[in-house]
Every structure is written in C-alpha cells, then in structure tokens.
Amino acid sequence: MSQAIAHDETEPRTGHEDGEYDPWFLGVIGLILGLGLVMVASASIPLASKNGFIELYYFWRQVGALSLGIGIGTIVAYTPLAVLDRLSAVFLLAGIALLTLILIPGIGHEVNGSLRWLKVGPLTVQASEPMKIVVIVYVSSYLVRHKLHVQTDFIGFIKPIGVMTVVAGLLLLEPDFGATVVIFATTLGMLFLGRVPFVRFFSWGLVALATLASLAMLAPYRMRRLMTFMDPWSDPYDTGFQLTQALIAFGRGEWLGVGLGNSIQKLFYLPEVHTDFLFAVVAEELGMIGTLFVITLFLFLVWRIMFIGSLAHRRGLEFAAYLSYGIALIIGMEAFINIGVNMGLLPTKGLTLPLMSYGSNSIVTVCVMLALVWRVVKETRAVTRELKS
C-alpha cells in the first residue's frame, strides 16, 4: 500500500518538503486576485473622482478587504477541520440567528430597499456571505455523519433540504434572491456528490427549480428583470439600460480590447461598473482574449479545488472532501452567473465575480473558503505522509 501511494501520479506536486502547499492552487488564486485589483483600479477611478475621493480610493479599500480576508483566512487555515466538523450545528444556528437579527427593524441596515447588512462598528457585514460558508460546513458534516441514510432513506435526504428551506426563507425576506439560488443549488450539488439516488435528486431538483422560478415570477421587479433579459433593446434607456451598456462594452472590446484604462463605458454609462459588471470592463479593455483568459482561470480554479477534494476522499477524509466540493461549486456557480449576466445570457442578478469584483464581504468570504481548501491540502498530505511511512 505504501508503494502504491508513493507512486501515486495523481497527487499534486508541491516542491516543498512539508507538503502543505499546492503551487497550482495558489498560483491561479494569485493571478485572479492580481487581475482583479488591476481591473477594480481601472474601473473605479472615474467614480472615485466623482465622489470626491482620491483616484485609487476603491482600489485601496479592496486591498484593505483582501488583507482582512487573508488575516482571517490564516487563522482558519491553522484550525483543524475536525473542530469545524464538531461545531457545524453551532455555526448553522449562529448563521440563522444572524439572518433573523438583520430582519429586526432598527438592527438591520437597509440599502436600496433591502435589509441585508448589519453594522459592526466601522464594518458592515452582509449576512448572506458568512452563511455560504456555514451551509457548506454544515452539509459536509451532515453527509459524513448520515452517509448511509442520505444514500438509502428519504428522510436522510429531506432533512438538509428542510434546513436549507428555512435559510432560503430568511434570505428571501431580505430579499436576496441571488444568494438563495446559489446556496440552495450548492446544497443540492453536494447532496448529489454524496450519492443521493438520482431519481430522488432529480425529482426534488425540479421541485426546487419550480419553486424558485415561481418566487421570481411573483415579484414584479424580478419579472421585469426577466423580460428585460429576453430583449434588453426593447427599453434601452430604462429597464434594459444596464444590460445594453454591458453589451456595448463587449462590442467595443472586439478581440484585443481598447487597452487597459481606456474604457468608455466606465465613464458613468455602465452602472455598478466596479462590482457586478466588472467583467464587462474586462471585455472592453482586454477584449475577447482577456475574457477567455479570465474564464480559463476560473475553470482551472474550480477544477483544482474539486481535484483536491477527490484526493482527500481517496485518503478517507470525507468531511474535507465534501468541504472542497462545496467550495468549488459555490465559487464556480457565482462566477458562471456573474459572467452570464454580464454577457446577457442570464437575467440580471446582484452577484459579484469572486476574487475580482469590488466588495469587502465577498472578498473576505472567498478568502476564508480558499483558506479551508488550503487546510484540506495540508491535512490530506499529512495523511499521505503517514501512509508512506
């Protein structure tokens, strides 16, 4: 067995004797973060000047958020996964309490008609962001503790669905439809990877899809977004304004782009240019080549995290494996939705591009997720060294 593991060609090569690092994983993260900081600086300069700030105001705020995320991530990276496994139910209750707390008048901070934030001193916490991590940790722990029931009993499958329904209900009260879709879809994806019978998974997947579609259609503003997505040029100066401006950015970029810093759409034509629609600026300034490069980076990142999870699974670290799978699913889904929205392939939804878009809560959350994956690498390699010896 030791010889088989010693010659396992599927294990990522590190070049480090301690075996705690995966250079491919860290390298792609560095590339995405670096490109994201450059594009946030480029896209936000006109907005910063308009608001009376220094030109790189939003850039430095993003650097600050990234530093905070790395700091918290470092603590998480040195926390044994067994601790998270044991406390998964406690984290879930704390997350639900936070979602409930922000709905109380006078406590939750309202922005543009949505109660999604909680002010903690100078910081503003968006409750749905830490909830993403909580859900992944809870479902990973559940799949390990109730493995047989999930695969054989209906009740084993429906329990986590019931918990996620409660979470989704609280998110919809804010309202935060985007986070609801991402969290519910991630949960279903993790259950599928936990070997839930396909017929049961497919049936309840259709139920969840129909429910979310109904909720979208019941809200007038969501229906307007849906109709606008189908034909944004029918009302290019009102409901279709954001999408048409994004499509203009893609058109102007052509193959090689207009050059870094030379975007016209960022000059107050395209709303949310440094957050939700940063990818459109990438398309305009760096062209199709730049957009394909960004998409390739995200595809590689998601694949690498899934690969790390599969290695953990082979070493018998099931909690670590499901944790990696969940993180890969949620990062991949958010990137897919954001890019799809920017390109007019999906209805407009307020989700940032992970690691790239401006947004303190988002960048901190993704940093913590990636720190958990780093911990998975570390523990997987520790088990591998023990088996080799």
Query: pLDDT grade, residue 23 (50/70/90)?
Result: very high
- Residue 89, H or E segment: helix 88-101
Residue 351 DSSP code: -
pLDDT of residue 212: 67
Question: What integer pLDDT is reported at residue 14 of this predicted model?
Answer: 41
Tell me the pLDDT band of 220, cut-offs 50, 70 and 90: low
Q: Which residues share a beta bridge with 111?
A: 114
pLDDT at residue 361 in the model:
93
Query: What is the structure's pLDDT at 9?
Result: 42
- Whether the per-residue pLDDT at 16 is higher than 50: the answer is no
Q: Is the pLDDT of residue 10 over 60?
A: no
Q: How many residues does the chain have?
A: 389
For 266, other C-beta atoms within 10 Å of its C-beta total 24
Average pLDDT over residues 197-211: 74
**Stronger pLDDT, 256 or 113, i.e. the higher one:** 256
Q: How confident is the model at residue 388 (pLDDT cuts 50, 70, 90)?
A: confident
The answer to whether residue 318 sits within a structural domain is yes
The percent of residues in the chain predicted with pLDDT above 90, rounded, is 60
pLDDT digits (tens, 9 = 90+) for 328-366: 999 999 999 999 999 988 887 778 999 999 999 999 999
Residue 13 counted as domain residue: no
Q: Is the pTM of this model over 0.85?
A: yes
pLDDT above 60: residue 138: yes
Q: Tell whether 157 is covered by a domain.
A: yes
pLDDT at 17 over 60: no
Q: What is the mean pLDDT of the chain?
A: 87
Please give the residue that has the higher pLDDT: either 147 or 39: 39
pLDDT number for residue 225: 65
pLDDT digits (tens, 9 = 90+) for 191-203: 989 888 777 777 7
- The whole-number average pLDDT for the span 303-327 is 96
pLDDT band at 45 (very low <50, low <70, confident <90, very high): very high
Angle at which helix 318-342 crosses helix 360-388, to 10 degrees, equals: 150
Give residue 376's domain range. 18-388
**Token pair of 63, please?**
């650097």
Domain assignment present for 148: yes
Does residue 238 have a pLDDT over 80? no
Q: Which residue has the tokens 């896209």?
A: 43
CA distance 166 to 96: 8
Residue 260 CB burial class (10 angstroms; 0-12, 13-18, ≥19): middle
State residue 20's pLDDT score: 62
Question: What's the number of domains the chain is made of?
Answer: 1
Whether residue 2 lies inside any domain: the answer is no
Within a domain: residue 68?
Answer: yes
Q: Please indicate, yes or no, if residue 6 is contained in any of the structural domains.
A: no
- Which strand (E) or helix (H) includes residue 126? strand 123-126
C-alpha span between 149 and 172 (Å, rounded):
30
Q: Is residue 175 reached through a cis peptide bond, with omega within 30 degrees of 0 on the bond before it?
A: yes
Cβ atoms of 188 and 201 within 8 Å: the answer is yes
Instruction: State the Cα–Cα distance between residues 69 and 192, nearest whole angstrom.
Output: 30
Which residue is listed with tokens 């523990």? Answer: 379
- Within a domain: residue 8? no
pLDDT digits (tens, 9 = 90+) for 84-97: 999 999 999 999 99
pLDDT at 372 over 90: yes
Mean pLDDT of 65-70: 96
